[in-house]
Structures are given as structure tokens and as C-alpha cells.
Amino acid sequence: MASTAELRSILVATDFSANAEAALARGAEIARLHGARLVLCHALVPALLPPPPEIVPLPPEVYEELAARVRERLEKRCSSLRSEGLAAEYELAVGPPAETVLAAAMRAGAGLVVAGTRGLTGWRHLILGSTAARLVRDAHCPVLTVHPGDTARPRRIATVLVPTDFSPEASLAAETAAKLLGPQRDTTRLVLLHVYQVPAELLTHLPPRLVLEAIESAKEKAGREIAQLAKRLGRDGLEIETRLAEGYPPETILEHARQLPADLIAMGTQGLSGLKRLVFGSTAERVLPLASCPVLTVHRTPSS
């Protein structure tokens, strides 16, 4: 995984939707913080002959005109970013959106990919759109997903919520979030949250005394582990808070994010459950589309 300790290049996927503009604003903010290069990438769907029945066929000359206008729009956006002091460039590539963005991120040596959760298709389901899901699942580096409403939040990331189950992925997410924040003039709060759930079988079949003992033992162990993680992440300018909470993990994470309120949630995409679903771990899958703030997802690659 590309290290955010030396974040040199950030790729922002754009389809020119309002959500993509929110993602670009976040990407630009992080680029300023790290002095990183900003690469805008737009995936132009290839001209298919013959196209699927639901796609309006475009004559070659119309397709060329479309590409020219998109390129002009990308250049105009990059010029605006350069006038703000950012090193910005663009890539217009032809191909399926997710695969195209991932390939562009590799070519750019991106240490972070930023994308919106909803594009011009107007996705409104309580699951991730296919492009965002593919980026989160397959990117070689961390992915920051931004929701349509995130433009209303303050620009500076002051409070970061990091759910942890003490898996390597969760620990990596905590470390990545701390590095991503970079040097801050003001203190930033990193809230480590471990959510534990009591199996219904324990409550149904065991005496209350044994259940309470099991819960207390688990809480003590979790308390030691979360304290060790906090100590490892400690540095000047970073205030670390630890929390233990009982409940259904996705709902409890979302509740704490709203209560804080969090400016960012950072989490691993595969925890101790070892889930290898076609998208990603169930907790991240449920938290990401419903979160009240941007979500940074991190997973280990074979080279991590």
C-alpha cells in the first residue's frame, strides 16, 4: 500500500456531478496539507459497436466532440486549481469507470484515491454504487469516499472516528488516518472505538453471572488493547480518546459518528471475521453509504 506518510500524489475521480465536486474539494484540501500533486481522472465510456439496447448510439464524430468537450472541462478545472497554488493535472481515459480510475491511480503513483458515493446516475440506494464499491475493494491505496452532503461540513478535519476490532486492517486504518492528517496548527482528536456485541445464545442459555463475567473479561482485554493502540499512535497535536461500546457494530459506529460529530471515519475493509465477499467486509459496507461524514477505507495488499 502506498504510504500516506509521504503522500505525493492524490487521484480524484470525477464525472462532474455535485458529489464529484465535493470529493474534489476534499482532495484539494488534503493535497494542500501534504504539498501533493492532484490528478483529476474522468473515465469516458468507450464507443461500443453495437451498443447495448439501453445506450444511445453515438456516431464517431459526436463521440469525438464529446471527448473534446470533456477534455476542455478538465483543463479548465485544473487551471482553476493551479491558480490556487496546487499542482494539478488531469487524465481522460477510455474504459469502464472503476477499472479506468484504478489503472490511472497506479500510473499516477497515487497514495490516495478520492471519489464520490453517488454520480450523475442519481444512485439513491442504501448500498454503495458499483464504481465506488469497486474502488474501495480493489484500490492499491486508501480510498476516501465523499457523500453528496459532505460539502456542508467544515473543511478542516478536527475529529476522526476510528472503529477498531484490533485486526491488522483496523490498526492500519488508524495509523493511516493519523498520517493523513499531517501537521496541524490546532489539536486534532482521534477517537478509537471498539464495539462489542453479546451473542444472543449467551443471554438465552447461560446464567446471568457467567454472562456478566464473560462480558467483563472481554471488556478488560479490549481496554488493554485499545490503550496500547492509543499509545502507539500518540504524537504532538493529536488528542486520542478511547471508547468501548456495546451494540450492533454498524449502527453503533454511525451513532458515535453523529454524536461526536466526526469529520472523518477511518476503518479497515476486512476485519477479524475474515469476510471475503465480492464487495468488502459487512461493517464497512453498511457504514460507508450511511455515514454523516467522509469515510477513509484501508485494506492490506500483499505488499503491505
Count CA atoms within 13 Å of residue 4 on its CB side. Answer: 26
Contact 161, 265 (CB under 8 A): yes
Same domain? 131 vs 188? no
Cα 9 to Cα 6: distance, rounded to the nearest angstrom: 9
Question: For strand 112-116 and strand 88-94, is the pairing parallel, antiparallel, or unpaired?
Answer: unpaired
Establish if 174 belongs to a structural domain.
Answer: yes
| More reliable by pLDDT, 3 or 277 | 3
Establish if 264 belongs to a structural domain.
Answer: yes
The mean per-residue pLDDT over the stretch 213-239 comes to 90
Establish if 304 belongs to a structural domain.
Answer: no
CATH of the domain at 271: 3.40.50.620
User: Which of 89, 124, 149 is the last residue in one of the domains?
Assistant: 149
Cα 211 to Cα 288: distance, rounded to the nearest angstrom: 32
DSSP 8-state code for residue 272: T
DSSP 8-state code for residue 1: -
Kindly report the pTM of this predicted structure: 0.85
pLDDT score recorded for residue 183: 67
The total number of structural domains that make up the chain: 2
Question: Domain of 238?
Answer: 159-298
Distances in Å between the Cα of 251 and the Cα atoms of 199, 201, 205, 242 are 16, 21, 26, 18
pLDDT tens string 144-162: 999 887 765 546 788 999 9
Per-residue 3-state assignment (H helix, E strand, C coil) for 239-265: EEEEEEEECCHHHHHHHHHHHCCCCEE
Cα 233 to Cα 189: distance, rounded to the nearest angstrom: 12
Q: Predicted confidence band at 117 (pLDDT cuts at 50, 70, 90)?
A: confident
Same domain? 280 vs 166? yes
Across 15-29, 34-48, 94-108, 109-123, least confident range: 109-123
Contacts 24+ apart (CB under 8 A), 126-132: 126/289, 126/290, 127/285, 127/289, 128/279, 128/285, 128/288, 128/289, 130/98, 131/13, 131/97, 131/98, 131/101
The mean per-residue pLDDT over the stretch 174-185 comes to 80
- Exposed e or buried b per residue across 199-224, where buried means at least 16 C-beta atoms within 10 angstroms of its C-beta: eeeeeeeeeeeebeeeeeeeeeebee
Same domain? 11 vs 144? yes
Same domain? 172 vs 283? yes
Establish if 154 belongs to a structural domain.
Answer: no
User: Which of 125, 149, 173 is the last residue in one of the domains?
Assistant: 149
User: Which of 128, 149, 170 is the last residue in one of the domains?
Assistant: 149
Establish if 303 belongs to a structural domain.
Answer: no
Q: Predicted confidence band at 6 (pLDDT cuts at 50, 70, 90)?
A: confident
pLDDT score recorded for residue 70: 94
Tell me the range of 1-5, 67-71, 96-100, 213-217 where mean pLDDT is highest. Answer: 67-71
Same domain? 200 vs 246? yes
Same domain? 68 vs 101? yes
pLDDT score recorded for residue 235: 82
Same domain? 12 vs 130? yes
Residue spans of alpha helices (H) in the chain: 18-34, 60-83, 97-108, 130-138, 168-181, 200-205, 208-233, 249-259, 282-290
pLDDT tens string 190-210: 999 999 887 776 667 778 888
The mean per-residue pLDDT over the stretch 135-146 comes to 91
Same domain? 8 vs 140? yes
| More reliable by pLDDT, 54 or 68 | 68
pLDDT of 302 above 70 = no
Q: Which residue has the cell 471519489?
A: 115
Same domain? 174 vs 124? no
Same domain? 142 vs 272? no
Establish if 13 belongs to a structural domain.
Answer: yes
pLDDT of 139 above 60 = yes
Same domain? 119 vs 199? no
pLDDT tens string 118-129: 754 443 433 445
Establish if 135 belongs to a structural domain.
Answer: yes
**Taking Cα atoms as reference points, which of 31, 40, 28 lies closest to residue 7?**
31
Share of the chain above pLDDT 90, in %: 46
The mean per-residue pLDDT over the stretch 45-71 comes to 76
Same domain? 81 vs 113? yes
Establish if 192 belongs to a structural domain.
Answer: yes
pLDDT of 249 above 60 = yes
